Amino acid sequence: MATRGRSAELATTKAHGLPKNRLETLVDGVFAIAMTILVLELRAPQTLGPGGLAQGLVDLGSRFATFLISFIVLGVYWFAHHQVFHFVLRVNRTLVWLNILFLMGIALVPFAASVMGAYTNDPIALSLYGGVLGLLAALGYLIWWYMSGDRGLIEPGLDPALVHKVRVWLAIGPVITPVAIAVSFVSTTVALLIYLTLPVVFIFFNPVSRYLERLRETEP
Amino acid sequence: MATRGRSAELATTKAHGLPKNRLETLVDGVFAIAMTILVLELRAPQTLGPGGLAQGLVDLGSRFATFLISFIVLGVYWFAHHQVFHFVLRVNRTLVWLNILFLMGIALVPFAASVMGAYTNDPIALSLYGGVLGLLAALGYLIWWYMSGDRGLIEPGLDPALVHKVRVWLAIGPVITPVAIAVSFVSTTVALLIYLTLPVVFIFFNPVSRYLERLRETEP
Amino acid sequence: MATRGRSAELATTKAHGLPKNRLETLVDGVFAIAMTILVLELRAPQTLGPGGLAQGLVDLGSRFATFLISFIVLGVYWFAHHQVFHFVLRVNRTLVWLNILFLMGIALVPFAASVMGAYTNDPIALSLYGGVLGLLAALGYLIWWYMSGDRGLIEPGLDPALVHKVRVWLAIGPVITPVAIAVSFVSTTVALLIYLTLPVVFIFFNPVSRYLERLRETEP
Amino acid sequence: MATRGRSAELATTKAHGLPKNRLETLVDGVFAIAMTILVLELRAPQTLGPGGLAQGLVDLGSRFATFLISFIVLGVYWFAHHQVFHFVLRVNRTLVWLNILFLMGIALVPFAASVMGAYTNDPIALSLYGGVLGLLAALGYLIWWYMSGDRGLIEPGLDPALVHKVRVWLAIGPVITPVAIAVSFVSTTVALLIYLTLPVVFIFFNPVSRYLERLRETEP
């Protein structure tokens, strides 16, 4: 019986293509590492000036702000990935490779953050950061567009209104980041504020959370 | 049949919101990395003095003590997270974001440890370390308070006495760490001893372990 | 009933040897870390020359190219591992150790990439990189050869034509990398182009993807 | 029905204590990171001498040997952990803390390896390495002793002969490493050879592999 159970499971898995769990493990791993190595930019000051350690820590201010923004940004992308993949039934070659490109963007966040932490007032540094965020946002949009197409990758009966709302939600990033890059050449402060606002918008206007909450409320 | 099994599973998952497994994978990943990169503070001495390598290793003493305390502290928080999430049925947006903030605190532990390892006698270094521990403790308390509220996130029949005991247990940190910070300006040694004692108290006064053991004993 | 279910499960697991999930977690972890630490080679320029930050970033060009190639190469190997292990039923000592050697090669990729990023025009650097890729390819071939032998490690009814096609597919690497190494002593540019082409060939000529897609099409 | 299924599962899990999966994820994560950061000791030479890059890489020889030995050693401990935890039904507080101490030893391996890679001929460096290996071996022995005691943590009907054989197997390390440390003060080469031989003995005299293979052969 146990053997039959296993064979059945295998047959199903094979028939439906590759399961999503290992891709999720890889994605969660890359996010966890990218989030944690952000902290390597914060280093104990080697030598102390007249202000002592307190001043040495205050001097880390802009690096700390970059750490904070980048951690939240990675959190936003991770949660969006988690929510979107919640509806995935199986993965195929194209979806895997879109995700690997997405992970490449995630791995670049600590680098872009490190440049922005060191050169906070340089529009080039802010553009690099915006470029990485924009690339990630564009790939996120592409992944959802590909997944939600008629390819049997997601749950069949998924509400088309939700599919559309998620598409609009994921279009915020690719639309806003080029604006932020352009703005950074006028005012780095305003560009930085846009990078701060973007995740907040993403967090509060979240169609998947609302969809799942509504489903739960109508449950018997 | 297999297809029906899958549909049923999906329906259930969707109806109950997001499953907790990916959040747990992210949390476990960040803890594993934070714990392991603590060791990057211990470096082979570049040049050897008259005492040779033995002296070079002895000179790493305070960094090694910091490694030890920080590893145990991260172990304490990981185990508390594991135990508390054992009762979680599903996650929602707020719970995910509270956890991402918690992980930000975890990612800061190697930085605070590095500062404390380099400036063991400086009250600022000990306050920074205490501040990170206090933030983590406060977030841990907040997470439990949010989870155990009437939000359908945890197992319905959970013993209210346990809920209360865990709340008291998790309040130890937010109460003690401000004391340790204040003490560090009087005596860094006493503050360090408090950081050493805190995890020990946490480990031995563990209401979840006792609750699970008692349940097991009353099993037929 | 629940207890009986567990015992049954245990009996089955034990009878069939070690399950594959922990090996997959270790493999996914090593891949995630190797992919993410590639970015540590990209560092914010310490000092800026007359061209400013823009020039400083342009100077990172060859390191960035190495990052890109290496990330794609690791993605290729990860996906091949995922696909090949999809058919695994259980693991044994030899399969575990072949995988640990494979992971050693994966862990060496960031080192070989770092050398190639620093000495892009040196045939020794390109040979080292080719050597690591060749070792990985050879181990990949060996793993499939061992797995697909009559050892009860993979699904019994697996199509022998697929087994053969995967073998040919995995033989590309061990055949091409020695050529690339030889070529690198004549022209480092051509060798680099081979390293760029290899993953592309691997991605598009993928027998497992085609096999799974065909199975899916013939599904009722 | 689905809801009933979940409740049943929860009841069972709770009644038997904490499940082992999250501890396994943490352990696999720490191993994956420790294994991969070993490579950070291998760095591209900053400047090239008259022998060029080839000589620069040859000079990394003793660091490379340390990388190799340490990777295999971590592989041995990971596989032993995997095999031993295969029989675990649930975890409790003591078992979790023994494992966290074990992980602390694992996190120290890259440090000890880095010291040994830099000072290969110094008995202090070899003793440090042997000390970390010995600590890990002792903790491994302790974990098995605790687990296999009458605490309901492992599968009830486990063959007592296997329990004994695993105990002997895990006693090799705590017995041999003090010898290697003593020997290192006479000859660092012989001590290094012992560190090389130890994992080989561990790999080939593996009672769990043999036990599982025999079970499989007697299967109908």
pLDDT in tens, D96-146: 999 999 999 999 999 999 999 889 889 999 999 999 999 999 999 999 999
CA D9 to chain centre: 32
| Least trusted range by pLDDT, from A150-159, C169-178, C210-219, D3-12 | D3-12
Q: How many helices (H) and strands (E) does chain D have?
A: 9, 0
User: What is the nearest CA distance from A142 to chain B, expressed in angstroms?
Assistant: 22
pLDDT at res. B16: 54
Cα separation, C203 vs A101, whole angstroms: 13
Q: Which residue of A has its CA nearest to C68?
A: A104
Residues of chain A with Cβ-Cβ distance to B22 below 8 Å are 24, 28, 82
Cβ distance D11 to B11 under 8 Å?
Answer: no
Whether the predicted pLDDT of D8 surpasses 50: no
Cβ distance B144 to B84 under 8 Å?
Answer: yes
Average pLDDT, chain A: 85
Cβ distance A117 to A62 under 8 Å?
Answer: yes
Whether the predicted pLDDT of C142 surpasses 80: yes
Whether the predicted pLDDT of C18 surpasses 90: no
Quick one: pLDDT band at residue A99, thresholds 50, 70, 90?
very high
Task: Write down the pTM of the prediction.
Answer: 0.90
* DSSP state string for B118-141: H-TT-HHHHHHHHHHHHHHHHHHH
For A91, phi and psi rounded to 5 degrees?
Answer: -115, 155
Cβ distance C115 to C128 under 8 Å?
Answer: yes
Cβ distance D15 to D8 under 8 Å?
Answer: no
- Decide which of D152 and A134 is more confident: A134
Whether the predicted pLDDT of C73 surpasses 50: yes
Whether the predicted pLDDT of C36 surpasses 50: yes
| Interchain contact B108–A (C-beta under 8 A) | yes
Q: Do C33 and D38 touch (CB under 8 A)?
A: no
Adjacent-strand bridge partners of A18: A91
CB environment D30-43: b (16+ within 10 A), e (fewer):
bbbbbbbbbbbbbe
pLDDT, tens digit (0-9, with 9 covering 90-100), for B165-176? 888 888 888 888
Q: Which residue of A has its CA nearest to B98?
A: A75
Shortest CA distance to A56 belongs to which of D24, B111, B8? B111
pLDDT, tens digit (0-9, with 9 covering 90-100), for C187-209? 988 998 888 888 888 888 888 88
How many other C-beta atoms are found inside a 10 Å radius of the C-beta of residue A8?
13
Classify residue C119 by its DSSP letter: -
pLDDT at res. B7: 37
Residues of chain C with Cβ-Cβ distance to D216 below 8 Å are 15-17, 152
Q: Do A35 and B117 touch (CB under 8 A)?
A: no
| Interchain contact B78–D (C-beta under 8 A) | yes
Cα separation, C203 vs C84, whole angstroms: 14
Cβ contacts of C94-99, under 8 Å, gap ≥ 24: C94/C146, C95/C23, C95/C143, C95/C146, C95/C147, C95/C153, C96/C18, C96/C23, C96/D79, C96/D82, C97/D75, C97/D79, C97/D203, C98/C139, C98/C142, C98/C143, C98/C146, C99/C23, C99/C27, C99/C143
Helix (H, G, I), strand (E, B) or coil at A154: strand
How many other C-beta atoms are found inside a 10 Å radius of the C-beta of residue B190?
12
Quick one: pLDDT band at residue B52, thresholds 50, 70, 90?
confident
